[in-house]
Amino acid sequence: MFGDRRTTFPGGVQHMETYLMDRDPQRTARPGPQRPNIIVILTDDLGYGDLSCFGGPNLRTPHIDRIAAEGVRLTRFYANSPVCSPSRASLMTGRYPDLVGVPGVIRTLAENSWGYFSPDAVTLPDLLKRAGYHTALVGKWHLGLEPENHPCLRGFDYFHGFLGDMMDDYWTHRRHRQNYMRRNDQVIDPEGHATDLFTDWAEAYVRQQTAENCPFFLYLAYNAPHLPIQPPEEWLARVREREPGVSEKRARYIALIEHLDAGVGRLLEALDEIGAAGDTLVIFTSDNGGLLSAGAWNGPLRGEKQDMYEGGIRVPACVRWPDRIPAGTESDALAMIMDILPTCCEAAGVSVEHWIEGSSFLPVLMGQARDMPDRVLHWVRREGTGTGIRTYLGQEYYAVRRKDAKLLHNGPFQSLELYDLAEDEREIRDLAGSAPHLFRELGRLMQRQVQRAGAVPWQKG
């Protein structure tokens, strides 16, 4: 069951040029029955409570709220890690991130980089391309700077965005004074706020692709509301005027989110204008919980980004597919970012013939199932930086959940904690000392996952 079933591609890795937007017309023919377009929108560090449809205070996100109102709001949706790269690896592969070589954040500086995206891991765009989809990534990649891990060699026909981890400035788009903005394999230096650029490029892509005779998959990965919190001044002024009692820190964070929401709105409006909304599956979520020091609000949940507590890993999510999903519904099904791959594949009629840990939640979205099948869930992070209580020294830390029981250590050198989330969602009452049998059972499951991951390299070479 736990074997690594891998798929190889005839002819091996193709040259970059074959992945660009100019394609053989025969490849664009829509195969078989009509398949939906698919858009996955991923935000960066968006707190569980930082949408108005999730109870966020003082902010307004009408366009993301529209996705929830016209589809399903998922109240128990999880990232695969409390930090960026691992969750993105899970989204791309449908697997636990440490089983595809990404237990921690991949950074631009090798001495502080904690993952290497396995070159033979099969990606969601790989699978959709085989079914005739045109595949595009607009926005943040954050899964490696190596030539073999360029998005256009990991299944994407088209890439317009940022290769690196975070931007040091939303306006200049640099990281460590280096420019990682690309259009396919070409270095570009565009002007404008990163959120606006990514929205512009995504809207242009959608409008172009609907004129083609094939379905498209768009992965739109915003870097907002990740640090630095740099909303356009006019958006900040609007929040200050409307919410005079809010702190400056929170106002800036709200403005960055509302600016992002407007971008999502532009994309939804484009789908309406070109008549593609009904047959487009739109999934919206975040790669991990919000950072409280940046102004985020994770609702009633304990913890934040970097934590294995709920505030670090539970994220807002909503899905819309007007032709197939009932509007105005809500689900507390327990799902994760790694479940996006099999969900998209099922919607597209694409079979996944290699082993993955993710499971499709399409039956939940369509009202055919109330919950996901019972399974054990894992979270991981490896890290090197940190001081004080956040000390890592290159070590991993984990969480494991079976039904409502969750065992975690919130850092590699911190004690294990045990919680019953059905009775204690805020993770206040540690049961590690009072439920030894359950503690041991979950501990064995955690250890088993550590052993599985130990077989997968997370550094190149």
Of 21, 94, 159, the closest CA to residue 361 belongs to 94
Do the domain assignments include residue 6? no
Q: Is residue 20 part of a domain?
A: no
Is the same domain home to 308 and 331? Answer: yes
User: For position 281, what pLDDT does the model report?
Assistant: 98
Question: Could you tell me the pTM of the whole model?
Answer: 0.93
173 occurs within a structural domain: yes
What are 392's two structure tokens?
């890592």
Domain-ending residue, one of 315, 342, 373: 373
Evaluate whether residue 420 is within a structural domain: yes
Do 269 and 414 fall within a single domain? Answer: no
CATH number at residue 394: 3.30.1120.10
Strand 280-286 to 314-320 pairing: antiparallel
In a domain, 14, yes or no: no
The residue out of 358, 373, 388 marking a domain boundary is 373
- Does residue 278 sit in the same domain as residue 402? no
Given this model, what pLDDT does residue 386 score?
80
Q: Domain check: are 272 and 310 in the same one?
A: yes
Secondary structure of the chain in HEC code, one letter for each residue: CCCCCCCCCCCCCCCHHHHCCCCCHHHHCCCCCCCCEEEEEEECCCCCCCCHHHCCCCCCCHHHHHHHHCCEEEEEEECCCCCHHHHHHHHHHCCCHHHHCCCECCCCCHHHCCCCCCCCCCCHHHHHHHCCCEEEEEEECCCCCCHHHCHHHCCCCEEEEECCCCCCCCCCCEECCEECEEECCEECCCCCCHHHHHHHHHHHHHHHHCCCCCCEEEEEECCCCCCCCCCCHHHHHHHHHHCCCCCHHHHHHHHHHHHHHHHHHHHHHHHHHCCCCCCEEEEEEECCCCCHHHCCCCCCCCCCCCCCCHHHHEEEEEEECCCCCCCCEEECCCEEHHHHHHHHHHHHCCCCCCCCCCCCCHHHHCCCCCCCCCCEEEEEEECCCCCCCCCCCCCEEEEEEECCEEEECCCCCCCCEEEECCCCCCCCCCCCCCCHHHHHHHHHHHHHHHHHHCCCCCCCC
Tell me which residue of 217, 199, 221 sits closest to 270, measured CA to CA. Answer: 199
Q: Among residues 333, 350, 373, which one ends one of the domains?
A: 373
State the catalytic residues.
84, 142
**Domain membership flag for residue 8:** no
| Number of helices followed by number of strands (H, E) in the chain | 10, 17
Residues 311 and 388 in one domain: no
Q: According to the model, what pLDDT value does residue 27 have?
A: 36
Same domain, 386 and 245: no
> Do residues 315 and 307 make contact, with C-beta atoms less than 8 angstroms apart?
no
* Whether the Cβ atoms of residue 182 and residue 163 lie closer than 8 Å to each other: yes
> Does 386 lie in the same domain as 342?
no
The pLDDT of residue 118: 98
Instruction: Supply the CATH number for residue 221's domain.
Output: 3.40.720.10
Whether residue 353 sits in one domain with residue 383 = no
Inside any domain, residue 437: yes
| Residue ranges making up the domain that contains 432 | 378-453
Show Cβ contacts of residue 210 under 8 Å, excluding neighbours closer than 6 positions.
Answer: 37, 216, 274, 275, 276
Count structural domains, the chain. Answer: 2
From first to last of its 461 residues, the chain has per-residue pLDDT tens of 223 323 332 333 333 333 333 333 333 333 444 799 999 999 999 999 999 999 999 999 999 999 999 999 999 999 999 999 999 999 999 999 999 999 999 998 999 999 999 999 999 999 999 999 999 999 999 999 999 999 999 999 999 999 999 999 999 999 999 999 999 999 999 999 999 999 999 999 999 998 887 899 999 999 999 999 999 999 999 999 999 999 999 999 999 999 999 999 999 999 999 999 999 999 999 999 999 999 999 999 999 999 999 999 999 999 999 989 999 999 999 999 999 999 999 999 999 999 999 999 999 999 999 999 999 999 999 999 887 878 999 999 999 999 999 999 999 999 999 999 999 999 999 999 999 999 999 999 999 999 999 999 999 97
Determine the pLDDT at residue 388. 80
Domain-embedded: residue 270 = yes
Q: Are 226 and 340 within one domain?
A: yes
Give the three-state DSSP class for 218.
strand
Tokens of 30: 């829509």
* Owner of token pair 């206040």: 428
Residues 251 and 383 reside in one and the same domain = no
Work out the burial of residue 26: count CB atoms within 10 Å of its CB; fewer than 13 is exposed, 13-18 middle, 19 or more buried.
exposed
Asked whether residue 367 falls in the same domain as residue 427, the answer is no
User: Are residue 347 and residue 409 in the same domain, yes or no?
Assistant: no
